[in-house]
Chains A and B, each alone.
Chain A
Amino acid sequence: MDERFDIKDILKIVWMGFKAAVVIYAVFQASNLTILYQGF
């Protein structure tokens, strides 16, 4: 992969980072409430 990242890609990465942060926050919250994913 030798393509350059433009502003659109950077915004996309920032948006993904935000979503990942929400997931991490939810997991830490959930660990106290036992609503973690039960399917594993």
Chain B
Amino acid sequence: MIELSTKSLFFACLIIVAPFLLRYRSRLRKTVFLALNVLVITAASHSLLQWVITVIWVMLPYLLMHFWGSREKLKPFMIAGIVVIYVYLAKYGFVFSLLHLPEIFLFKILGLSYFLFREIDYIMQYKSLKEEGYSLGCIDYLNYILDFYTLMAGPILRYREFVDDFYGSGEETGFIPITKKELLDDINRVINGYVKVYVISAILDSWAKYWFDGLKDHDGFLKAAGAFCIFAFFNCWYIYFNFSGYCDIVIGAAGLSGMKIHENFNRPYMSVNVVEFWNRHHITLSEWIRDYIFTPFYKWLLSVPLKKKILLAQCISLFVTFLVAGIWHGTTMDYVMYGLFQGLGIVVATLWKTKRKKWLGKEKNKKYENNPVVITVARIVTWGYICLTFTFTGYPVMSLFTGR
């Protein structure tokens, strides 16, 4: 068992050592990567039982597809089964209390929610990957699922991208060349990530906690609302610096090992509406939920229940998609609220854009969208809304209203 600080030190050592082991393309490279991945999972396991359950959970999709991969009709059942197991292992409080489920496993598996995305991607893409001649061997599968760089907080990789990047053209051997610029930029990015996570976000987190803890001491609505806004301000910047800092660390560190990881942030707080925000914040998550939740659900709605009602189908699909994404973020009712507000924000932004186009016409709408005053106001409103919705992540905000 590794303590919190020791874990961080272990991870820091790992990202220093890994480039020396992984930058050399050879037959052993994938085995070395697997060994590092297994080492991380083992170090993060608090008991043998946790390790065994993690291995079973990770291997399940591989075994299912290995034996029944050709049966397309079984796919929905496989995914449903995996989601049910995930809900149980992640310990969704409201599901447990609703169904009176017994808690058998007291531990939480490291990177469990990110495993889920990759496992579903593997199942969904299995047939096309096989047809395209991708390697679907056990080592490649395990490296994809357990990839220690992206295990804890993304970005979310796809199997195809992972294999393409890991093997390159497949003909190169020997040391993967690195330029001076790449070397310095990658190291700089890792250090910047550490500054964001350990210095800036740590300070912002302590300030956010201070203001949240003091909320109950304020008399009167205005004072409490003011304190809540200050808490929301610090909390939203904490989330940005912590998450983007972590992504900087893993993108830079993976770059040093000769691996490319997708960018996950593009100045999210500069967005002019919630739709744009999700195209700039946690980009890989947005792409994943677009491909595996929004698009299939939207197509289904248009095919049967809402034929020709495109806007309504779009709004329902967006709302459901972001509600699910919100619930995925955490296991309490606060995250359900977070998902509801994100879904609501997206639906309002979509409706406003569509209706505005109708009212103003193409030309006037373009002028409106390019107006600097409109852009500034839209950015402030969007940022304020996101600030408020982010308060539901990580803090028991619901308890302030319910008193529980």
Contact = CB atoms under 8 A, between A and B. Distances in A.
A32 to B, nearest CB: 11
Given A37-B197, A40-B4, A40-B8, A1 B180 contact: yes
A20 to B, nearest CB: 5
Interface residues of A, number: 22
Interface residues of B, number: 31
A16 B188 contact: yes
A16 B202 contact: no
Nearest to A30: B202
B44, B153, B191, B242: residue with the most chain A Cβ atoms closer than 10 Å: B191
Given A1-B178, A1-B180, A35 B195 contact: no
Given A1-B179, A40-B8, A23 B194 contact: yes
Contacts of A35: 202-203, 205-206
Contacts of B180: 1, 3, 5, 9
A16 B152 contact: no
Interface string B176-195: 01111001100110011011
Given A3-B180, A13-B184, A33-B206, A23 B8 contact: no
A37 B8 contact: yes
B169 interface: no
Contact of A22 (B11, B110, B178, B195): B195
B366 interface: no
Nearest to B6: A40
Interface in A11-40: 12-13, 16, 19-20, 22-23, 26-27, 30-31, 33, 35-40
A16 B5 contact: no
Q: Chain A contact residues: over half helix, strand or loop, or mixed? A: helix
Quick one: which of B187, B198, B205 has the most chain A CB within 10 A? B198
Nearest to B394: A38
A26 to B, nearest CB: 5
B198 A1 contact: no
A26 B195 CA distance: 9
B195 A19 contact: yes
A1 B197 contact: no
Contacts of A31: 5
Q: Which of A1, A33, A37 has its CB near the most chain B CB atoms (within 10 A)?
A: A37
B101 interface: no
B5 A39 contact: no
Nearest to B7: A40
B84 interface: no
B246 interface: yes
B64 interface: no
Contact of A19 (B5, B177, B192, B203): B192
13 contacts: A1-B179, A12-B188, A16-B187, A23-B199, A27-B5, A31-B5, A35-B203, A37-B197, A37-B198, A37-B202, A37-B242, A38-B4, A40-B7
Given A19-B192, A30-B202, A40-B7, 18 more contacts: A1-B178, A1-B180, A5-B180, A12-B188, A16-B184, A16-B188, A16-B191, A20-B191, A26-B199, A31-B5, A33-B206, A36-B8, A36-B202, A37-B202, A39-B242, A39-B246, A40-B4, A40-B11
